[in-house]
């Protein structure tokens, strides 16, 4: 019985073709309407949080450093799934009801913010001290030096690890299925629960994620080439 279902009889091939053609639409729709927007929106919000968190962590203020450290520690020290459940299923008991998609945006943004802040912090610290000094010596203040001199260089350093984070985020968005966001994986669950073709339908969902991530890694390569124009020396002793 079990083996029978593995061997592909002509009937079965036809059935799978039908399932493929009827389910690919909803899967791609889930990706376009939810998976990709969720990843893009949360990555942008997360990056903004990350930059401020990184700056707080390297600031001279003990209070700012403390707040940033606690935030990063809590987010990194607890499972993303648990965080999403707290926001979506937990907060309503306090009277705070948030729709599935905004809940996911909040949860994922906080997550990206914490992880990416470490990447950005390391990238900022990797820029030689002489770059700060040169910026100060032509009269720049801290924020001018940061925006014009340090962050552009730090951006180059952080593109590969941030791309990794983004690709990881695209896959993590499948967790939003558990808080009722109708994204790719939730669509797959709904389809499979009707036709019981778990292996086939989930594999199709996996394929959708893989295609997205494959395209992203190509974009990453392009960005790196573009930013590579000034690479060769980092401005330290040469």
Partner 1 sequence: MITIQGLKKSFGPLEVINNVDLEIAAGKVVVIIGPSGSGKSTLLRCLNVLETPNGGSISIDGQQLDFNQPVSKKAIGAFRRLTGMVFQSYNLFPHLTAKGNVTEGLTTVKGVSKKEAGETAEQLLAKVGLADHKEKYPHQLSGGQEQRVAIARALAMDPKVMLFDEPTSALDPELVNEVLRVMKDLAQEGMTMAVVTHEMRFAREVADEVIFIDGGVIVERGAPAQIFTNPQHERTKKFLSLLQ
Binding site for partner 1 (CB under 8 A): 128, 130-131, 133-142, 144, 148-149, 152-153, 156, 229-238
Farthest-apart Cα atoms in the chain, separation: 79
Nearer residue to partner 1 within complex by CB, 1 or 138? 138
Radius of gyration of the chain (CA): 23
Which residue do the tokens 């648990």 mark?
Answer: 82
Number of residues that this document lists for the chain:
238
97 phi, psi to nearest 5 deg:
-110, 120
We find the least distance from the C-beta atom of residue 226 to partner 1, in angstroms, to be 12
We find the least distance from the C-beta atom of residue 150 to partner 1, in angstroms, to be 10
Nearer residue to partner 1 within complex by CB, 207 or 231? 231
Which helix or strand (DSSP H or E) is residue 162 part of?
A: helix 151-172
Nearer residue to partner 1 within complex by CB, 41 or 159? 159
Nearer residue to partner 1 within complex by CB, 60 or 93? 60
We find the least distance from the C-beta atom of residue 157 to partner 1, in angstroms, to be 11
156 phi, psi to nearest 5 deg:
-60, -45
Nearer residue to partner 1 within complex by CB, 3 or 138? 138
Which residue do the tokens 């990453």 mark?
Answer: 220
- Tell me the CB-side half-sphere exposure of residue 173, using CA atoms within 13 A: 34
Q: CA-to-CA distance for 181 and 186, rounded, in angstroms?
A: 7
C-alpha angle 173-176-179 in degrees, rounded to nearest 5: 175
We find the least distance from the C-beta atom of residue 51 to partner 1, in angstroms, to be 17
Nearer residue to partner 1 within complex by CB, 66 or 152? 152
We find the least distance from the C-beta atom of residue 93 to partner 1, in angstroms, to be 47
Which residue do the tokens 């590579």 mark?
Answer: 228
Nearer residue to partner 1 within complex by CB, 76 or 148? 148
Runs of H (alpha helix) within 58-150: 62-77, 80-85, 100-126, 129-137, 142-144
We find the least distance from the C-beta atom of residue 52 to partner 1, in angstroms, to be 20
We find the least distance from the C-beta atom of residue 193 to partner 1, in angstroms, to be 52
Under 8 Å between Cβ of 9 and 186: no
């Amino acid at each position: 019985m079990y083996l029978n279902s593995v061997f592909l009889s002509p009937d079965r091939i036809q059935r799978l073709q039908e399932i493929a053609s009827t389910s690919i639409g909803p899967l791609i729709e889930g990706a376009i309407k939810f998976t990709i927007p969720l990843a893009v929106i949360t990555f942008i919000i997360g990056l903004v949080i990350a930059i401020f968190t990184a700056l707080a962590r390297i600031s001279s203020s003990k209070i700012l450093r403390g707040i940033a450290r606690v935030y990063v520690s809590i987010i990194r020290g607890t499972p993303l799934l648990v965080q999403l459940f707290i926001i979506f299923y937990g907060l309503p008991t306090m009277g705070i009801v948030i729709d599935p998609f905004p809940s996911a945006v909040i949860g994922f943004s906080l997550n990206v913010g914490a992880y990416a802040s470490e990447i950005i912090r390391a990238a900022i610290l990797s820029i030689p001290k002489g770059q700060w000094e040169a910026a100060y010596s032509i009269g720049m203040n801290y924020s001018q030096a940061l925006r014009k001199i340090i962050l552009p260089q730090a951006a180059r350093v952080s593109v590969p690890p941030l791309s990794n984070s983004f690709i990881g985020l695209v896959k993590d968005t499948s967790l939003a299925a558990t808080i009722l966001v109708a994204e790719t994986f939730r669509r797959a669950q709904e389809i499979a629960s009707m036709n019981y073709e778990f292996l086939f339908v989930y594999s199709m969902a996996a394929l959708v994620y893989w295609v997205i991530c494959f395209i992203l890694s190509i974009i990453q390569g392009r960005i790196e080439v573009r930013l590579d124009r000034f690479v060769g020396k980092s401005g330290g002793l040469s």
